[in-house]
């Protein structure tokens, strides 16, 4: 019985294998950190792809209508914001023939810039998409 107690005490005092245990724990922590980093990157990529789709849709609509400031464009923007749950800042750059209604003559270029503020690993990030389209509407 006494020999069993001595062996048990020797096992408790033995430090062999603790380096492997610590190395294994560090390895698990690195894997978990990489997983969460990948998950955050995936979320950011999904937001970017959604922003790209948003920019494509609004730029095609603006090109067909030849206008950036009418009520139909505002309605389309509200619809896209509701569907995508994004609330981006949108700017238009073009040579307007009517600056109040922001109409663009047939064949002129309209540059649409869509941007959104988001976070990546608790750091602020600005995602920006720029699209250039040609007005498809002739204004008399």
**pLDDT at res. 13:** 64
User: Is residue 104 in a domain?
Assistant: yes
User: Is residue 6 in a domain?
Assistant: no
Tell whether the model's pLDDT for residue 9 goes beyond 70: no
User: Is residue 2 in a domain?
Assistant: no
Tell whether the model's pLDDT for residue 75 goes beyond 80: yes
Question: What pTM, to 2 d.p., does this model score?
Answer: 0.76
12 pLDDT band (50/70/90 cuts)? low
Q: Which domain holds residue 47?
A: 21-134
Q: How many Cβ atoms sit within 10 Å of the Cβ of residue 85? A: 7
User: Is residue 102 in a domain?
Assistant: yes
**At CA 83, angle to CA 78 and CA 85, rounded to 5?**
85
Give the C-alpha separation, 12 to 115, whole Å. 61
CA 87 to chain centre: 12
Tell whether the model's pLDDT for residue 110 goes beyond 70: yes
**Domain total of the chain:** 1
Burial annotation 108-120 (CB, 10 A radius, 16+ → b, else e): eebebbbebeeee
User: Is residue 7 in a domain?
Assistant: no
Instruction: Give the strand order in the sheet containing 89-93.
Output: 89-93, 109-120, 123-134
């Amino acid at each position: 019985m006494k020999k069993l107690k001595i062996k048990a005490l020797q096992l408790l005092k033995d430090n062999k294998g603790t380096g492997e245990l610590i190395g294994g724990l560090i390895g698990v922590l690195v894997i978990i950190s990489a997983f969460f980093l990948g998950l955050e990157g995936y979320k950011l990529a999904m937001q970017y792809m959604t922003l790209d789709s948003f920019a494509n849709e609004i730029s095609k609509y603006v090109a067909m209508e030849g206008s950036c400031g009418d009520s139909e464009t505002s309605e389309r923007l509200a619809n896209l914001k509701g569907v995508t749950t994004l609330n981006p800042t949108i700017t238009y750059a073009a040579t307007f023939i009517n600056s109040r209604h922001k109409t663009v003559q047939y064949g002129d270029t309209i540059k649409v810039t869509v941007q959104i503020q988001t976070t990546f690993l608790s750091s602020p990030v600005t995602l920006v998409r720029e699209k250039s389209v040609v007005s498809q509407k002739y204004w008399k």
